[in-house]
Amino acid sequence: MAHSPSRKVLASPRPDGGRLVKPERLQIVLEAIRDAGERGITKEGLARRLGGVAMRTVDRAVQLLEGQGARFGKGRKGQPALIHFTLEKAPDWDSRITPHARMALEVALMALEGTATELWFDQLEGLRTLADSHLSTRDRDLFRALQAHVSVRGGADDQQALDTRMLTQVLLALGHPEGPRELELTYKAASTGRTSTRTVVPFTLTHDVFSGGAFLLAWDPAKQEVRHFRLARIEEARALSKRGLIPDKGPLERARDFQIGGWFGPATPFRVVARVGGTNWPQALQDAPPALPGVTVRRHKGGTVLLAFQATELFGPTRFILQFGADAEVIEPKALREHLAKTLKAMAARYT
């Protein structure tokens, strides 16, 4: 990345820095090594980024940065074997935000877009602007890719703390700038408690008002089907180098757009219409329509409202409708009316 003359240049980090290597050159070297990521960059590559300077200038820059707190990996690769520099620790004066901190910021922002007040969102948006000025090109590309792969609706909180190492691997596979990478994960099933390892292609993170936590929506190549994995039940994850292939994104997009509480199905989305009455429900639904796919709320006769939304299976809508008790009646579809009637009959049997 060429150094932009309009960009604010840090003052010489140390008094002797300016005499040996100009501070702007130290910044370019640091950013070049950071941008190179795990593959690293050679001395020749650093010399080119500095405009074709002598190798001794590169050596001085590296030595100065190390003297100021930087730590570089120096692995040998290729034939002939050449040293490739990677960044393990930035110098003491560096104010660049770390990828992990930026990742946490992005996830918080995307969650707040669907759940929090505008005041908090504005505050974090200011932090994002600040972070952008301290972010390498490589990391910026990563987070731009991630933004296309996180879908948030509603505000349920997962009470289980997520393993940050696991989450980092999930996000690195999901947000790779050149397309999602395959992800190897070890998962504990809710129904059996058994743990299994599988390789999937991540598609998006989902979180809606009834999920009770965040899910990873992915394509399972072995089973040739769409799968939802609760993040809190992923015990280990490892981003692989192989690019993930999804034969048809349509089912994944429908699952993302029409899931309710983590439930989704392969069927074409159907329309749910329910009449809701009671003392407070109609006004509450008009004031704050629920975060459901394609939701609409309109006034109806007798002080009721007609609540309409879309779904692809029956359990999600059932869970939502039951919260209204006797104040709600499903008008359509017939299959949902029958499913609710069966559910309510089974519930009533427990109280007789």
Q: Please report which confidence band the pLDDT of residue 300 belongs to, taking 50, 70 and 90 as the band edges.
A: very high
Say yes or no to pLDDT of 131 above 50: yes
Mean pLDDT rounded to a whole number for the chain: 81
Hey, what CATH topology would domain 17-89 get? Arc Repressor Mutant, subunit A (1.10.10)
| CATH architecture, domain 155-251 | Roll (2.30)
Between 196 and 153, the more confident residue is 196
What is the secondary structure of 63-127 as a DSSP string?
A: HHHHHTT-EEEEEEETTTTEEEEEEEE--TT--PPPHHHHHHHHHHHHHHHHHS-HHHHHHHHHH
In this prediction, residue 146 carries a pLDDT of 65
Say yes or no to pLDDT of 148 above 50: yes
222-280 per-position pLDDT tens digit: 999 999 898 889 999 999 999 999 999 999 999 999 988 888 888 899 999 999 999 99
Hey, what CATH topology would domain 270-349 get? Alpha-Beta Plaits (3.30.70)
> Three-state DSSP class for 6?
coil
In this prediction, residue 207 carries a pLDDT of 75
Say yes or no to pLDDT of 152 above 70: no
In whole angstroms, give the CA distance from residue 182 to residue 244: 5
DSSP annotation of 227: E
In whole angstroms, give the CA distance from residue 176 to residue 193: 31
H or E element at residue 151 = strand 150-152
Segments making up each domain of the chain, as ranges? 17-89, 96-147, 155-251, 270-349
Q: Please report which confidence band the pLDDT of residue 127 belongs to, taking 50, 70 and 90 as the band edges.
A: low
Between 126 and 274, the more confident residue is 274
Domains 17-89 and 270-349 fall in the same CATH topology: no
Say yes or no to pLDDT of 162 above 50: yes
Q: How many CB atoms lie within 10 A of CB 280?
A: 8
In this prediction, residue 179 carries a pLDDT of 87
In this prediction, residue 221 carries a pLDDT of 95
In the numeric block, the tokens 């039940």 are attached to 233
Report yes or no: 88 and 73 within 8 Å, Cβ to Cβ: yes
202-216 per-position pLDDT tens digit: 999 887 667 667 889
In whole angstroms, give the CA distance from residue 33 to residue 293: 44
Between 266 and 134, the more confident residue is 266
| Percent of the chain with pLDDT strictly greater than 70 | 74
In this prediction, residue 178 carries a pLDDT of 83
